[in-house]
């Protein structure tokens, strides 16, 4: 069931107004869609954080605006790079009976066999795009890496799930790979010796 979020409509989007909103714990936002149109709204930051904890980043949220209810999903989040707080939100009204695309994070579980042998887990892809009805979009997809050995790779097509969604990314894209133990110190030692050898050759040439 979608979470409910009470928001207020705002008419003025001047920078001075938005700054004052943020100082008072409010987030300026917009919501757009077929029936809601394009509206500027104000969201309480504390309520928004609690809603994210309840339904996740891709959850459906019923926006209550002046007695009207609009199912929506967060389309974009702008955050302060230093403080981490939310600066602005974009909501997209959704049709609960129509499929939509959403970006879903990947979470790894387990410890790879290759990792226990000294291998390094390389994360090449941290999220995938899925297509599903809004209510069926997962908050995250878990990837079990416990059986991966050194040299193994896990591709998008290898994701196993029982959810009512389709992963639309390229199935051949590598998500996880287990690389051999890092041997950089040996490489650095070889490179350090190279100038010495070159210097000896040059010195011998001068003596000749």
Please give the residue that has the higher pLDDT: either 13 or 29.
29
pLDDT score at 83: 83
Q: Where are the domains of the chain?
A: 3-94, 102-184
Arithmetic mean of pLDDT, 41-55: 92
Q: How confident is the model at residue 2 (pLDDT cuts 50, 70, 90)?
A: confident
Does the pLDDT value for residue 26 go beyond 60? yes
pLDDT score at 25: 86
Give the domain 102-184 fold: RNA Polymerase Alpha Subunit; Chain A, domain 2 (2.170.120)
Looking at domain 3-94, its CATH architecture is Beta Barrel (2.40)
pLDDT score at 20: 78
Task: Report the 3 state secondary structure along the chain.
Answer: CCEEEEEEECCCCCHHHHHHHHHCCEEEEEEEECCCEEEEEEEEHHHHHHHHHHHCCCCCEEEEECCEEEEEEEEEEEECCCCCCEEEEEEEECCCCCCEEEEEEEEEECCCHHHHCCCEEEECCCEEEEEECHHHCCCCEEEECCCCCCCCEEEHHHCCCCCCCEECCCCCCEEEEEECCCCHHHHHHHHHHHHHHHHHHHHHHHHC
């Amino acid at each position: 069931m979608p979470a409910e979020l009470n928001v207020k409509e705002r008419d003025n989007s001047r920078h001075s107004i938005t700054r004052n909103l943020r100082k008072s714990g409010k987030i300026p936002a917009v919501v757009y869609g077929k029936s809601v149109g394009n509206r500027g709204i104000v969201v309480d930051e504390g309520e928004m954080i609690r809603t994210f904890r309840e339904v996740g980043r891709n959850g459906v949220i019923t926006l209550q605006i002046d007695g009207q209810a609009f199912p929506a999903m967060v389309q974009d989040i702008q955050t302060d790079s230093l403080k981490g707080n939310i600066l602005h939100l974009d909501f997209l009204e959704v049709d609960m009976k129509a499929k939509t695309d959403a970006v879903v994070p990947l979470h790894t579980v387990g410890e790879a066999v290759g990792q226990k042998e000294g291998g390094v887990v390389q994360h090449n892809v941290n999220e995938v795009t899925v297509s599903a009805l809004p209510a069926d979009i997962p908050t995250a997809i878990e990837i079990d890496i416990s059986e991966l050995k050194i040299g193994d790779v896990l591709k998008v097509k290898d994701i196993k799930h029982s959810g009512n969604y389709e992963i639309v990314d390229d199935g051949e894209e590598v998500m996880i790979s287990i690389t051999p133990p890092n041997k950089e110190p040996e490489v650095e030692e070889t490179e350090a010796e190279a100038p010495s050898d070159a210097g000896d050759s040059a010195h011998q040439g001068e003596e000749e």
